[in-house]
Structure 1
Amino acid sequence: MIIKYKILFTLIFSCLFSVQSFSKEVKKPLKVGIIGLTHTHVHWIFGSESRGDIKIEGIVEPNQKLAKNYSDQYNFSLDIVYSSIEEMFNEVNPEAVTAFGTIYEHLEVVEAAAPRGIHVMVEKPLAVNMEHALKMKSLAKKHNIHLLTNYETTWYPTTHKAYQLAKNENFIGDIRKIMVNDGHKGPKKIGLNEEFLQWLTDPIQNGGGAETDFGCYGVNILTWFMDGKRPESITAILRQFQPENNPKVNDESIILLNYDNSLAIIQGSWNWPIGRKDMEIYGENGVIYADNRNDLRIRISKGYDKYEEQVMHLKERNAPYDDPFALLGAVIRNEVQLNEYDLNSIENNILVVEILDAAKKSAKLNKTIYMDK
């Protein structure tokens, strides 16, 4: 009997050890390289490393002074900083790279990473124009890599709750209009650092001004809400209200997307008196206000001007859906499979670039642009 118990104990211990070993293997941090430090969203990945989802293996940044500033702030060795992508790839072998340079440089990152089978996540938007976007898509497909685009609003609990209520539950009836508002006072007015300011206000390196920087948020969300359906037409107004601060680009944008049974108004601006990232979804019976990251309101119509209101303060989403780099690792390791027009997906973000290109054309020609089916 004692021998039987010993055998049983050994088997249980072996199973527990196997489960623990498997868990540790699954949770092994994703090896990541950072390409560029001039986009201040790079603070995000340095702040996320402590979660344990990723390990930063190398950094590409030719500006040694800028690299030293980040090294002092986040306590990493300058030994992992390289002056070029090639130099980093010769020394380290990351599973993925994240692009935190100019939008124009996104293509260069994919051209370097894709042939090596290294996955890529870029900051929004995907590319400066359709020519770059299509090259990036082709490279990703040819070399079988994941190419994700990161937006701040993707991680807002309110973004997903609004989608659930409006789309999955039809809580406010058929959607008739969506308004998305994003922006702030302007890069110079909010005191953006010089390295970021130089290229963010450059039409080549950024691909435009506020319509690119903040208009892309709304287009991304609308493409998701519409399941990848193309708008029938696009009409845009682009203006420059701060020539002293943004002499080369427009700082105000209104983009109207006309769908077969609904409208979308996207306002991306460097002229808001306050910073904002919010949206309003109007249905036949009510409206959903996603006021910020965590606060959401629902108003259901009662008569002419009365309504019942429900107010929600939402908790953060569960991992890996609460962090871009955790999700990147989960996608690469086949723990999560993105739907075709998910917020991060290549299909969604190719269409985002196409719509932004059409918006710029509309404003330039002062006419409505009709999309091909």
Structure 2
Amino acid sequence: MKSRLLLFLLIAMNVFSNIYAQTETDPLKLGVIGLTHTHVHWILGREEIGDVEIVGIVEPDNELAERYAKQHGFSMDLVYPTMEKLMENSKPEAVAAFGSIYEHLEVVEFFAPRGIHVMVEKPLAVSLEHASKMKSLAEENNIHLFTNYETTWYPTNHEAYIMLKEDRVGELRKVIVRDGHKGPKKLGINEEFLNWLLDPKQNGAGALMDFGCYGANLMTWLKNGEKPNTVTAVTQQLQKENNPNVDDEANIILTYDDSNALIEASWNWPIGRKDMEIYGLTGVIYADNRNDLRLRIAEGYDGFQEESFKLEEREYPYNDPFSLFRAVIRNEIKLDKFALSTLENNMIVMQILDAALRSSKTGKTISLE
């Protein structure tokens, strides 16, 4: 028994060493397009693993670039004013877009015909029209087009998914997803980010787009790509002084043949949260945050047995968007069709968000074809 365990450990160490050595010698050459989305600190402040090399940064705002260069210690020699200048001076294999959501289409229009893979921050696009153009460009030029969500890397969401598929709570009936905080202005978000986040043209909407996309993404994954039959949305503007041009509160209801979902997106909550509740016929799964998960099995009318779990971070490369992006580009990993980052999933997300916007404006329930 001990000899078998020792052999297993040696094999595992050898496999890990080979993967690590490969990433050290074969890093993904990545371009960073834009610095106005503060999620860019994710890549700029990322621990040096050796699997990704930033070969250029596009940012026309020199003052912003210099500020971040001082903060993160990168050379201003990496910074270019345009995507054309980046291509003249470096050869990225992939790019990650950290500008406004409206600019995602422009990034794909420039890089897709050059065979360069693209990852954008959530949501995929500012509108369904933009998303459809991006999808066509990605498919015509055979590139990967990823969408990155913070919640993709939550161990709790993945464990909840496994529990659901293992029938731990019975057949799915309802999902509630809550994502929000007190609002961009109250959080003191920097001016460069705030300028486009509160602009309906650059961001598509307010909280509905910014946080509603999380629930649409997770529900599409849980339902394995099934589209909802109907979408109903109600939006409000509760902080007119802070968000004069966009909604800051959105509630979205999705209905399916055998289940439904409630997506709560808010810029009005005093405490930030990203959580999910999954209701089956026999129990409930609570993904309370990134690492805390609860499983309740029903007993009688309102009784239950509960297990609590404190989950470790996911293993490399499933713990980080840039590591996974590299692994997919290198054909080391093939994602399921409707995995959280995929184009297929996020096109359905955009259909849901488009319907939610139309519903909120008309006061009507929208049916998806």
State the AA in 1 paired with 2:351: E
Please name the residue that 1:319 is paired with: 316
- 1:347 maps to 2:344: yes
Q: CA RMSD in A?
A: 1.5
Residue 338 of structure 1, CA deviation:
1.4
Look up the SS of the partner of 2:184 in the other structure: coil
Alpha-carbon distance in structure 2 between the residues aligned to 1:21 and 1:193: 38
Please name the residue that 1:57 is paired with: 55
Equivalent residue runs for 1:220-299 within 5 Å:
220-299=217-296
Equivalent residue runs for 1:81-120 within 5 Å:
81-120=79-118
Please name the residue that 1:5 is paired with: none
Residue 49 of structure 1, CA deviation:
5.1
Render the CA deviation track for 1:64-120: whole Å, top value 9, x for unaligned: 110011100111110110001111011100010000000000000001111111100
Residue 371 of structure 1, CA deviation:
1.1
Look up the SS of the partner of 1:50 in the other structure: coil
- 1:171 maps to 2:171: no
The correspondence for 1:211, drawn from 191, 208, 231, is: 208
Alpha-carbon distance in structure 1 between the residues aligned to 2:359 and 2:23: 51
Please name the residue that 1:184 is paired with: 181
Alpha-carbon distance in structure 2 between the residues aligned to 1:353 and 1:272: 25
Please name the residue that 2:4 is paired with: none
Render the CA deviation track for 1:155-200: whole Å, top value 9, x for unaligned: 000010000001x201000111000000100000011000000100
Residue 47 of structure 1, CA deviation:
2.3
Q: Is the 8 A contact 1:48 1:325 kept in 2?
A: no
Residue 77 and residue 300 in structure 1: after superposition, are their counterparts in 2 closer, same or farther (change >3 A)?
A: same
Look up the SS of the partner of 1:234 in the other structure: strand
Please name the residue that 2:9 is paired with: none
State the AA in 1 paired with 2:227: R
Q: Is the 8 A contact 1:130 1:353 kept in 2?
A: yes
Residue 25 of structure 1, CA deviation:
6.7
Unaligned runs of 5+ in 1: 1-15
The structure 1 segments of at least 4 consecutive aligned residues displaced by more than 3 Å after TM superposition are: 19-27
Alpha-carbon distance in structure 1 between the residues aligned to 2:249 and 2:314: 32
Look up the SS of the partner of 1:162 in the other structure: helix
Unaligned runs of 5+ in 2: 1-13
Alpha-carbon distance in structure 2 between the residues aligned to 1:262 and 1:134: 28
Q: Normalising by structure 2, report the TM-score.
A: 0.94
Alpha-carbon distance in structure 1 between the residues aligned to 2:19 and 2:101: 41
- 1:362 maps to 2:348: no
Look up the SS of the partner of 2:341 in the other structure: coil
- 1:30 maps to 2:23: no
Residue 29 of structure 1, CA deviation:
1.2
State the AA in 2 paired with 1:94: P
Q: Is the 8 A contact 1:49 1:55 kept in 2?
A: no
Residue 57 of structure 1, CA deviation:
0.5
Render the CA deviation track for 1:230-255: whole Å, top value 9, x for unaligned: 10101100110000000000000000
Alpha-carbon distance in structure 1 between the residues aligned to 2:281 and 2:111: 47
Look up the SS of the partner of 1:55 in the other structure: strand
Alpha-carbon distance in structure 2 between the residues aligned to 1:65 and 1:337: 40
Q: Is the 8 A contact 1:61 1:82 kept in 2?
A: yes
Residue 93 and residue 241 in structure 1: after superposition, are their counterparts in 2 closer, same or farther (change >3 A)?
A: same
- 1:75 maps to 2:73: yes
Look up the SS of the partner of 1:94 in the other structure: coil
Equivalent residue runs for 1:151-166 within 5 Å:
151-166=149-164
Residue 258 of structure 1, CA deviation:
0.4
Render the CA deviation track for 1:212-231: whole Å, top value 9, x for unaligned: 00000000000011111110
Q: Is the 8 A contact 2:277 2:284 kept in 1?
A: yes
- 1:301 maps to 2:309: no
Residue 22 and residue 98 in structure 1: after superposition, are their counterparts in 2 closer, same or farther (change >3 A)?
A: closer
Residue 48 of structure 1, CA deviation:
2.3
Residue 358 and residue 21 in structure 1: after superposition, are their counterparts in 2 closer, same or farther (change >3 A)?
A: closer
Residue 228 and residue 61 in structure 1: after superposition, are their counterparts in 2 closer, same or farther (change >3 A)?
A: same
State the AA in 2 paired with 1:116: R
Q: Is the 8 A contact 2:24 2:51 kept in 1?
A: no
Residue 117 and residue 182 in structure 1: after superposition, are their counterparts in 2 closer, same or farther (change >3 A)?
A: same
Render the CA deviation track for 1:28-57: whole Å, top value 9, x for unaligned: 211100000000000001122512220100
Alpha-carbon distance in structure 1 between the residues aligned to 2:195 and 2:67: 18
Alpha-carbon distance in structure 1 between the residues aligned to 2:60 and 2:194: 17
Alpha-carbon distance in structure 2 between the residues aligned to 1:300 and 1:20: 42
Residue 23 of structure 1, CA deviation:
4.0
Identity %: 60
Alpha-carbon distance in structure 2 between the residues aligned to 1:77 and 1:347: 37
Q: Is the 8 A contact 2:251 2:263 kept in 1?
A: yes
Alpha-carbon distance in structure 2 between the residues aligned to 1:328 and 1:21: 15
Give the greater-gyration-radius structure (CA): 1
Q: Is the 8 A contact 1:316 1:322 kept in 2?
A: yes
Q: Normalising by structure 1, report the TM-score.
A: 0.93
Render the CA deviation track for 1:260-301: whole Å, top value 9, x for unaligned: 000100001101111000010111111010000000001111
